[in-house]
């Protein structure tokens, strides 16, 4: 690369998503954490690593191979072909995923309605690509929104319309209003994206009554729901899990997005989508939406690595396809961390009873995330200062809103740290907050949280 030949392509000549904050914000967050490796990270939403084990990869591969030969009566050649050759676009562990959904979630699903994907991200991408038929299509999404959803929508040129989340997890009146507004503007809302359990980033869960209301509203408004459920298993030890939307869905309104990144391991890059909606294909034959998603998948990744699928399949087989017992230790660690973080916040910011508390936080019933609201704007510059001068990382909530309005909140994650790191991180965070409060008069009406 010579000085006289500085640039081959201009960003403006590439797809517009490439300059968009939905795609660049992840990069920014990664760069900050790389620049300050000594900082305690309450930012990373990665699963807990302590129980990871390379030997388990070999064990799971063998278990799935035995399953093929012993239980499904594959010949050695057939088993070898399934694991190593090109294969079924919709995947090879679909039957085990269907069993897992029956056992753990009470969801009855035809394995043919399952597409095994390269992580939940590809599942999201395939669904959005399928649903975006033309320029008048829009996607509704509960805000604040997982940035991977917004980024995938950008790549298929699908605008995302925010729907207020609020304390119940989804503001149904606002959802109805947004559908009306979109339709009045000549647009077609294709679906509403929602993470009903311990949402990323809000940590909020939708209760069973509201889930039923959401389904009823979807039926009234003829809307699909995209249910994303990466954290549902991680309720506090004593918590009861509400049924998923898909378990309550009697009208095929729900497209269910599943992940094994948190419940098994991220390195397999295996997720899935349940899409049992009936679609007539080009020849008039009726099949599940999954078949259409598979057609798209064949042109994006062809199929999900059967070796990676076998790792997940073996893990599922190890516990009778239930991931609840498989995650006993992980759940205990996350519960311990979540309680420790919330107690640590309460100790450091006691409510002195004189008016509204300047620093507030959510107390989720599970999951990875706590949102802290402060009476000053929280932006990337503050994160940079926090990392450099205080040695603690977190995520500005502004990254989860698809606009540039001021946000006065930050997301803390408990998933990839120890209680000791939480203590150090909170000490540093509270020093930052106290210094910021001293630097500027608190603004209790400041922006969104």
Site residues for a copy of itself, 69-98, by CB under 8 A, read 77, 79-81, 83-87
Report the site for a copy of itself in 53-72 (rule: CB under 8 A): 53-54, 57-58, 61, 65
27 vs 445, beta carbon nearer a copy of itself: 27
Say whether residue 152 binds a copy of itself (CB under 8 A). Answer: yes
Shortest distance (Å) from residue 440 CB to a copy of itself: 27
From the list 179-187, 284-292, 325-333, 366-374, the region that binds a copy of itself by CB under 8 A is: 284-292
Say whether residue 405 binds a copy of itself (CB under 8 A). Answer: no
120 vs 321, beta carbon nearer a copy of itself: 120
Find the binder of a copy of itself among 102, 159, 243, 277 (CB under 8 A). 277
85 vs 445, beta carbon nearer a copy of itself: 85
Distance set, CA 101 to CA 36, 105, 278, 307, 339 (Å): 41, 5, 20, 22, 28
24 vs 328, beta carbon nearer a copy of itself: 24
Measured CA angle at 121 (ends 115, 126), to 5 deg:
50
Q: Which residue shows structure tokens 């660049």?
A: 24
154 vs 241, beta carbon nearer a copy of itself: 154
Find the binder of a copy of itself among 35, 66, 212, 278 (CB under 8 A). 278
Distance between CA 18 and CA 23 in Å, rounded? 6
> Hey, how many other C-beta atoms are within 10 angstroms of the C-beta on 68?
20
Q: What is the largest CA-CA distance in the chain?
A: 74
User: How many residues at the interface with a copy of itself, by CB under 8 A?
Assistant: 88
Report the site for a copy of itself in 378-397 (rule: CB under 8 A): none
Q: Which residue shows structure tokens 């295996």?
A: 270
Shortest distance (Å) from residue 192 CB to a copy of itself: 16
- What is the DSSP code string of 143-171? ES--HHHHHHHHHTT--EEEEE--TTSS-
Find the binder of a copy of itself among 4, 10, 38, 167 (CB under 8 A). 10
From the list 50-58, 101-109, 207-215, 321-329, the region that binds a copy of itself by CB under 8 A is: 50-58
Say whether residue 301 binds a copy of itself (CB under 8 A). Answer: yes
Query: In terms of C-beta density within 10 A (0-12 exposed, 13-18 middle, 19 or more buried), how is residue 29 classed?
Result: buried
Judge if the upstream peptide bond of residue 150 is cis by omega within 30 degrees of 0.
no
Say whether residue 38 binds a copy of itself (CB under 8 A). Answer: no
Task: Say which residues have a Cβ less than 8 Å from residue 315's Cβ, sequence separation at least 6.
Answer: 56, 60, 63, 260, 264, 326
Distance set, CA 9 to CA 5, 13, 437 (Å): 11, 7, 45
Shortest distance (Å) from residue 146 CB to a copy of itself: 11
Is residue 116 helix, strand or coil?
strand
Distance between CA 396 and CA 380 in Å, rounded? 7
Q: β-strand 160-164 against 224-228: which pairing, if any?
A: unpaired
Say whether residue 263 binds a copy of itself (CB under 8 A). Answer: no
Say whether residue 181 binds a copy of itself (CB under 8 A). Answer: no
Find the binder of a copy of itself among 111, 148, 239, 358 (CB under 8 A). 148
92 vs 338, beta carbon nearer a copy of itself: 92
Residue 161's φ and ψ, nearest 5 degrees, are -100, 120
Report the site for a copy of itself in 321-380 (rule: CB under 8 A): none
What sign results for the dihedral spanned by CA atoms 334, 340, 345, 346? positive
Find the binder of a copy of itself among 7, 184, 240, 405 (CB under 8 A). 7
């Amino acid at each position: 690369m010579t000085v006289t030949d500085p640039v081959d392509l201009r960003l403006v000549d590439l797809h517009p998503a490439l300059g968009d904050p939905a795609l660049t914000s992840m990069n920014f967050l990664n760069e900050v954490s790389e620049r300050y490796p000594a900082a305690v990270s309450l930012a990373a939403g990665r699963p807990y690593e302590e129980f990871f084990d390379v030997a388990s990869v070999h064990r799971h591969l063998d278990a799935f191979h035995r399953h093929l030969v012993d239980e499904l009566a594959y010949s050695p050649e057939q088993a070898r072909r399934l694991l190593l050759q090109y294969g079924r676009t919709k995947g090879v562990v679909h039957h085990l995923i269907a069993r897992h959904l029956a056992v753990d979630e009470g969801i009855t699903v035809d394995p043919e309605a399952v597409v095994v994907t390269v992580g939940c991200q590809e599942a999201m991408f395939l669904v959005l690509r399928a649903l975006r038929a033309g320029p008048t299509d829009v996607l509704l999404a509960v805000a604040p929104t997982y940035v991977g959803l917004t980024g995938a929508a950008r790549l298929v040129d699908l605008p995302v319309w925010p729907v207020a989340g609020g304390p119940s997890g989804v503001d149904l009146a606002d959802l109805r209003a947004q559908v009306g507004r979109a339709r009045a503007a000549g647009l077609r809302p294709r679906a509403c994206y929602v993470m009903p359990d311990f949402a990323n980033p809000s940590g909020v869960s939708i209760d069973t009554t509201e889930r039923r209301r959401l389904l009823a509203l979807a039926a009234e408004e003829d809307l699909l729901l995209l249910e994303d459920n990466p954290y549902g298993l991680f309720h506090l030890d004593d918590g009861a899990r509400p049924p998923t939307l898909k378990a309550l869905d009697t009208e095929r309104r729900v497209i269910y997005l599943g992940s094994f990144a948190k419940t098994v391991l991220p390195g397999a890059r295996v997720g899935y989508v349940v899409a049992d909606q009936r679609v007539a294909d080009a020849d008039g034959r009726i099949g599940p939406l999954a078949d259409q998603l598979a057609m798209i998948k064949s042109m994006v990744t062809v199929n999900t690595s059967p070796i990676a699928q076998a790792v997940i399949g073996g893990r599922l087989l190890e516990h009778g396809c239930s991931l609840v017992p498989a995650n006993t230790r992980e759940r205990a660690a996350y519960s311990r961390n979540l309680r420790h973080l919330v107690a640590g916040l309460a100790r450091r910011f006691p409510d002195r009873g004189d008016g509204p508390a300047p620093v507030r936080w959510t107390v989720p019933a599970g999951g990875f995330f706590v949102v802290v609201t402060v009476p000053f704007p929280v932006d990337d510059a503050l994160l940079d200062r926090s990392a450099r001068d205080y040695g603690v990382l977190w995520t500005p909530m502004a990254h989860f809103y698809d606009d540039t309005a001021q946000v006065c909140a930050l997301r803390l994650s408990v998933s990839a740290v120890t209680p000791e790191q939480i203590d150090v991180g909170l000490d540093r965070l509270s020093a930052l907050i106290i210094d910021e409060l001293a630097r500027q008069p608190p603004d209790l009406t400041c922006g969104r949280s």
